A and B are shown apart, each in its own frame.
Chain A
Amino acid sequence: MTRFLTFFAAAALAFVALTPAVDAMTIEKIMSPSGIPAWLVREDATPLVALNYAFHGGSSQDEADKAGTANLAADLLDEGAGDLDSTTFHKRLENHAIDMTFQVGRDYFHGSLRTLNDYRDEAFDLLGLALTKPRFDADAVERVRGQMMAMLRRETTNPNNLASRTWWRTAFPHHPYGRDAQGSLETVPHITASDLRDYVRRAFARNELTVSIVGDIDAKTAGELIDHAFAGLPAKNDIKPIAAATPQGMGRRIVINLDVPQAVVTFGGNGLERSDPDFMAGYIVNHILGGGSFSSRLYREVREKRGLAYGVSDSLVWFKRAAVVLGGTATRADRTADALDIIEKETKRMADQGPTPEELAAAKSYLKGAYALSLDSSSKIAAQLTQIQLDNLGMDYVQRRDKLIDAVTIDDAKRVAKRLYGGGMLVTVAGKPKGLESSGTPD
């Protein structure tokens, strides 16, 4: 029964703060014998290895009428590969206590592997099999498809999913970013094994492969293991470019009627690309408005003062070809309108006046310190190294980050606050909010 809870149905990696362990740690750039580059952090306190990697081309590669293809492929990679059927593959993993995960975002396919040192050869070999020789046996495809359909059906009456999906669909109509990575009840039945093979063939390749490895391992061994997993992949991927997009529907409010005691709200607008020079200023300003700590303006006004919700927050979310600021809350039906009024008022106040110098100083202090704390395991450090690589922030980002934060002035903060929050918001509500109706016109 935790006291605080962050919302976010949206996939996308939020800006995960780095750790000071990172501050002190040395990142080595290594090259596998076959020529695959990787970042390595040696950490010999625990006898394990954590690998994290990403391929370009996530769910945005799906055809509109086959949305969910990349996601279904990811769910099937450990369901049989090479001459191992699903059951044998799973037994091999568990016999060696190997954790292998696959996850599809809008732009990337992400994978992780965690193994004890004793079993690392087996772990990397199994990963190599899964990536290069997935079987997609009919039996396994139908089983996992059935599980996916059951989940999608469940989501049709889940207010969180309804509010979130409607937000994305409205913000990015006719664009792959508007579709859910899991696809829908209409699209998932049409995905064939050949679609799955096609996705794997187009996305899994040695170019544009990002690899990070953390653990009790030296550079030479790490390079050899990386080759066990990835050297068998094609040299070049074949992914299609995605068009740039700006979120639509600003000023609209959409209410989805559902008989639940508590209305769930998703709100958001245009954000900042990761490469935007104003990104850090925007990141700080958003932290002040609705970031994760218990001192944000939204938290204070919506929860602390009025008790309207258990949680309320928003964050910056960015993709290769679009960026949004996205938030959420859940509140009782007869006070939903009040909660929304406060959120809109606070957002406008931030756009008009920006933060105070005191708030800016406090946020900087928090964000610099938090960097030191969030990466508290080898797996999290490996995932963060991958994100830094995907965002092209450079190997020295960890050292530069404090300076980037300190360089943001109050004038920057005010200017970027207007940029971030001055354009209005798209709001979706699932539930039976009293006195709230859909408003605004479709673009």
Chain B
Amino acid sequence: MLTAVFATPAFAAGDTGPKVADFKLPNGLELVVIPDHRAPVVTHMIWYKVGAADEVAGHSGLAHFLEHLMFKGTAKHPAGEFSQVVAHMGGQENAFTTSDYTGYFQRVPSRDLKTVMEFEADRMTGLQLTDQVVLPEREVILEEQNQRVGNNPRARLSEQIEAALYLNSPYGRPVIGWRHEMEQLTRDDAIGFYRRFYGPNNAVVVVAGDVTPEAALKLAEASYGTVAPRASIPPRQRPQEPKPIAARSLTLADPRVETPVLQRDYLVPSFHTAKPGQSEALEVLAHILGTGSNSRLYQALVVNEKLAVAAGAWYESSALDDSKFGVYGSPRDGVTLPRLEASIDAVIAAVADKGVTAEELERTKTRLIADAVYAHDNQASMARWYGSALTTGATVSDVEQWPDRIRKVTAADVQAAAREWLDKKRSVTGYLIKDTSPQAERRS
């Protein structure tokens, strides 16, 4: 039996957009349907509310390892069958893991929605693993670590900064894992994690595309609806950060670095942990400070002072716990990182002291709100938007009202955000430099 909890109204007034429906099945599974009838295709995603931050210390990389192993078959469907069926449809599939969620998706013709829901519901609790498939896959994730991090000095820098930024939160662990721990992950670790966290009462299914909410609900009822809830799913309470009191800095030297980089991350609230309006102000601040060539950092460092070849800022609003706000720059030849850092500090201080202009505020709002309209042009982006929000503590109406909340941000809000959050004591500053020691220059 299914109960429709609520069906939400159209997108926030003034914006175009589909009517998004939101249901909850008796077994706890949440279903979100975003109708888009332009083409006879659907994007079907399942998002589990579990990620790397839910791992037990010492088993880093386990959430992501399990994501890989979810493709290794069930009692009902042997390894490879699901992928073959999706390929037969001409469909696309993939999966992803972050600190807060693990997602799986298929993009298929709408007539095949029933089939992919059945397969996905089957592997929600039916996964079977043997060492024969687990051990080669562990080699695969180690190669993935090499490809994403080991071979990439900038990724190594980010990893070190995050580890230093989070004193207590598991967000300091890399999602891919630390190699020495990845090497020790076992089949039993993966199955244990799976049995603890994968179940209908810990999942959100998002369907975007050529299907009505009613039809999607019926299909979900017949597939996911038959899976019993897991009793074991723990509340999502991770260790929280203490009040930051010391500016930290680190330097990573790597012989492959040809262009030095400065990156600084600040500990700031996420949408979920922020007071109303704070997250939106940080969003606007990140844009004015460091998105695109009109931004303060680019104009000051790259265009006017000619100190840098790149400079910018970003903010991650989607996170269950306190998140991060980053600034970065890459100096021109002959400019030192401390010199660059001084200019970055000056740009940030100017926003904190004098605020932003009405023109900057207006331009940023236009751009951010337009991005929401552009997102409607792509059903997969819409599905990702809702899925990531709903697995990090937001609701469907939070997503729908996002443009309105951005509209309400004032210049005073942005200035207050810069003052309160872009405080060096909340941050880690990382330098990426070339390692020129004789040993480092040795090439095999």
* Interface residues in chain A, defined as those with a beta carbon under 8 Å from any beta carbon in chain B: 1-5, 19-21, 24, 43, 45-48, 50, 86-87, 90-91, 94-97, 99, 114, 116, 143, 146-147, 150-151, 153-154, 156-159, 257-262, 264, 293-295, 303-311, 330-332, 362, 365-374, 376-379, 432
Contacts and interface: CB of A to CB of B under 8 A. Distances in A.
A376 B378 contact: yes
Given A261-B146, A306-B136, A308-B143, A369 B91 contact: yes
Interface of B: 16, 36, 38-41, 64, 67-68, 71, 80, 83-84, 87-98, 107-109, 135-144, 146-148, 150-151, 175-176, 255-259, 292-294, 299, 302-303, 306, 309-310, 330, 332-333, 362-363, 366-367, 369-371, 373-374, 376-380, 442-444
Contacts of B380: 376
B140 A157 contact: no
Interchain residue pairs A-B with the least CB separation, the first 8:
A369-B90, A307-B139, A97-B370, A21-B39, A307-B136, A262-B146, A157-B256, A370-B90
A90 B294 contact: yes
Contact of B151 (A46, A94, A159, A309): A159
Given A264-B151, A295-B80, A370 B91 contact: yes
A336 B140 CA distance: 14
B39 A24 contact: yes
B136 to A, nearest CB: 3
Given A309-B140, A370-B91, A370-B92, A330 B363 contact: no
Could you say which of A43, A114, A262, A330 has the most chain B C-beta atoms within 10 Å of its C-beta?
A262
12 contacts: A1-B64, A19-B41, A20-B41, A24-B40, A45-B36, A48-B373, A50-B377, A90-B294, A91-B294, A306-B139, A307-B137, A372-B40
Contacts of A371: 90
Contact of A47 (B16, B256, B362): B16
Contacts of A368: 90
Contacts of B108: 369, 373
Nearest to A215: B377
Contacts of B379: 376
A216 to B, nearest CB: 10
B41 A308 contact: no
Contacts, number: 210
A260 B256 contact: yes
A46 B373 contact: yes
Contact of A373 (B41, B96, B292, B333): B41
B39 A294 contact: no
A378 B442 contact: no
Given A157-B256, A366-B87, A377-B377, 14 more contacts: A1-B97, A20-B41, A46-B376, A47-B16, A94-B367, A116-B370, A146-B309, A150-B309, A153-B258, A260-B151, A261-B151, A262-B146, A368-B90, A376-B378
A46 B443 contact: no
Nearest to A430: B151
B71 to A, nearest CB: 8
Contact of B377 (A4, A48, A91, A258): A48
Contacts of B136: 304-307
Contact of A97 (B67, B90, B151, B367): B367
B91 A373 contact: yes
B15 to A, nearest CB: 10
Given A46-B376, A261-B146, A307-B143, A293 B87 contact: yes
Given A1-B175, A157-B256, A20 B39 contact: yes
B38 A262 contact: no
Contacts of A86: 293, 303
Given A48-B374, A379-B377, A308 B96 contact: no
Nearest to A145: B309
B52 to A, nearest CB: 8
Contacts of B64: 1
Nearest to B51: A1
A2 B363 CA distance: 33
A96 B366 contact: yes
Nearest to A7: B147
A330 B366 contact: no
Contacts of B310: 147, 150
